[in-house]
């Protein structure tokens, strides 16, 4: 397979995706891309960064399996299909692989893993199941959820077997155990995961085409038989025995969002520009069923100027939220919907995420936030309050009270019980101004545990599979932080295996 050299490393592409279509202007995105490409043109993080995408001239007329979308789910599906001896191809409409996976920050949730056991963390699939069900207000598809939790540890092992090690554990809102798995150095999971998956895609010589916009899924005699794709301004029909759709949600499609929830008009989004619901629309045209389409997650910690998510790991490692008055107002480790609701009740409808040098050391993603200019800093709490135009005494008392709560392992104010391993006592001190933003679409295409797409009668559409954020049901009314990365790997793998079995 011929590879076209990428202009910059995966980390540079991640920056571009973080900035594009997420509240910042296109001009800003282009400037950042140019600046970052120049700065990092000589850097290489892994072998994946050295390799490019397949030349469009090599696109064939037929493959065993067409995979639409090159995010985490799509690449996981392709790798498993290849492992089963099939000939898959990945088609991605954006200029780079990664999708929303590139923007994932906190980690991947999994239970009963070898890394938990190594670190003395006692967890169970049943506890993971019950806490996720509670977080989704009991509305989750129970069969999908059961499959997810029971296969989550194996997914961690599978990634590890390919050199993608997620052995640094933290915690997210709505969870009682450290089951959020991160890269060893505590960095954001998204870029690391995409880089590792892309490396394996290349090593297995799976063709991956970018700027390849699939416009239609075709069918014949009641079964899916390929796709229509636009490449280099030309439309081409590709035949296949199965199609796997992994195109993500619709968090960057204002029209779809407003149709489902008019009250979200004007909200900034954390989603990359390609998350426009294309796969959902194409599957609906084939008679596919959708579920929970009005369930759209608002995330409480979003930087508003550029629409960038400030990862839940910052709170999981000890950060707190304070109002402009310098006071805590919520259990920071409650579920995302509850924290967002509390924030929206504040006069300013925004707040500050406060943390110290210890949190910064444990959450490497903060380095990126700092480079973007989001972070205020001081060598004292009082100095930080001045930077934020906040009452110095109020913020100082808030932090002192919090540190005592950590020492006593008892939060009398808001009953927070997790993310309390460390107090905020190590200078320097930091703050990021945040407010709620559109983050994730829980609704989408209805699938079964084999990732077969179901029609309106509940029957599987022959040869059609889907996984990742474009599917609905797993998360119910509220997604737990860290479960989306688990979702794309567990069900991405399943869609690769099942589509390969169908082809056989």
Burial state string for 92-112 with b = 16 or more CB within 10 A and e = fewer than 16: bbbebbbbbbbbbbbbbbbbb
Q: Is the dihedral of CA 216, 102, 314, 26 positive or negative?
A: negative
Q: How many CB atoms lie within 10 A of CB 2?
A: 10
**Strand, helix or coil at 177?**
coil
Q: Is residue 336 flagged as an active site residue?
A: yes
Which residues lie closer than 8 Å to 322 by C-beta, 6 or more apart? 328, 329, 351, 352, 354, 390, 395, 398
What span, in angstroms and rounded, lies between the C-alpha atoms of 444 and 377?
Answer: 41
Q: Which residue in the list 179, 328, 336, 416 is annotated as catalytic? A: 336
Question: Which of the 8 DSSP states describes residue 455?
Answer: B
**C-alpha pair distances (Å), 14 with each of 36, 96, 97, 105, 436:** 10, 9, 10, 11, 22
**C-alpha pair distances (Å), 43 with each of 8, 163, 189, 364:** 8, 20, 19, 18
C-beta of residue 458 within 8 angstroms of C-beta of residue 268: no
Interhelix angle 26-40/10-19, rounded to 10 degrees, is: 170
Interhelix angle 189-203/10-19, rounded to 10 degrees, is: 130
Active site residues: 336
């Amino acid at each position: 397979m011929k590879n076209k050299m990428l202009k910059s490393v995966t980390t540079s592409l991640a920056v571009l995706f973080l900035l594009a279509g997420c509240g910042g202007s296109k001009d800003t995105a282009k400037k950042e891309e140019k600046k970052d490409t120049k700065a990092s043109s000589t850097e290489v993080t892994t072998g994946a960064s050295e390799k490019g995408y397949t030349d469009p001239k090599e696109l064939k007329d037929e493959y065993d399996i067409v995979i639409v979308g090159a995010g985490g789910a799509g690449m996981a599906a392709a790798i498993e299909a290849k492992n089963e001896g099939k000939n898959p191809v990945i088609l991605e409409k954006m200029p780079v692989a990664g999708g929303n996976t590139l923007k994932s920050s906190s980690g991947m949730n999994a239970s009963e893993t070898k890394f938990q056991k190594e670190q003395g963390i006692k967890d169970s699939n049943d506890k993971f199941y019950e806490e996720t069900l509670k977080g989704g207000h009991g509305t989750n598809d129970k069969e999908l959820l059961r499959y997810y939790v029971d296969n989550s540890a194996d997914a961690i092992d599978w990634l590890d077997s390919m050199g993608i090690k997620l052995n640094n554990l933290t915690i997210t809102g709505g969870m009682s155990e450290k089951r959020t798995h991160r890269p060893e150095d505590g960095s954001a999971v998204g870029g690391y995961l995409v880089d590792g998956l892309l490396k394996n895609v290349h090593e297995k010589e799976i063709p991956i085409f970018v700027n390849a916009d699939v416009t239609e899924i075709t069918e014949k005699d009641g079964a899916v038989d390929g796709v229509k794709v636009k490449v280099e301004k030309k439309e081409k029909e590709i035949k296949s025995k199965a199609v796997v759709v992994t195109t993500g949600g619709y968090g960057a499609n204002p029209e779809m969002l407003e149709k489902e929830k008019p009250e979200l008009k004007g909200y900034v989004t954390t989603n990359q520009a390609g998350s426009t619901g294309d796969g959902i629309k194409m599957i609906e045209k084939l008679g596919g069923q959708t579920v929970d389409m009005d369930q759209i997650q608002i995330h409480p910690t979003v930087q508003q100027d550029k629409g960038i998510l400030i990862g839940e790991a910052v709170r999981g490692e000890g950060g707190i939220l304070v109002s402009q008055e310098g006071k805590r107002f919520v259990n920071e480790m409650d579920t995302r919907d509850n924290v967002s609701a509390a924030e929206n009740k504040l006069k300013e409808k925004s707040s500050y995420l406060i943390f110290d040098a210890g949190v910064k050391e444990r959450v490497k993603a903060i380095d990126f936030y700092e480079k973007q200019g989001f972070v205020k800093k001081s060598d004292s709490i009082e100095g930080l309050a001045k930077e934020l135009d906040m009452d110095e005494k109020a913020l100082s008392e808030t932090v002192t009270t919090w540190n005592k709560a950590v020492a006593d392992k008892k939060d009398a104010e808001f009953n927070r019980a997790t993310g309390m391993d460390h107090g905020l006592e190590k200078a320097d001190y930091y703050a990021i101004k945040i407010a709620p933003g559109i983050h994730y679409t829980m609704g989408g295409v209805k699938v079964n545990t084999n990732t077969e797409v179901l029609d309106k009668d509940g029957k599987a559409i022959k040869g059609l599979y889907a996984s990742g954020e474009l599917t609905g049901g797993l998360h119910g009314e509220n997604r737990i932080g860290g479960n989306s990365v688990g979702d794309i790997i567990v069900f991405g793998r399943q869609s690769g295996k099942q589509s390969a079995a169908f082809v056989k």
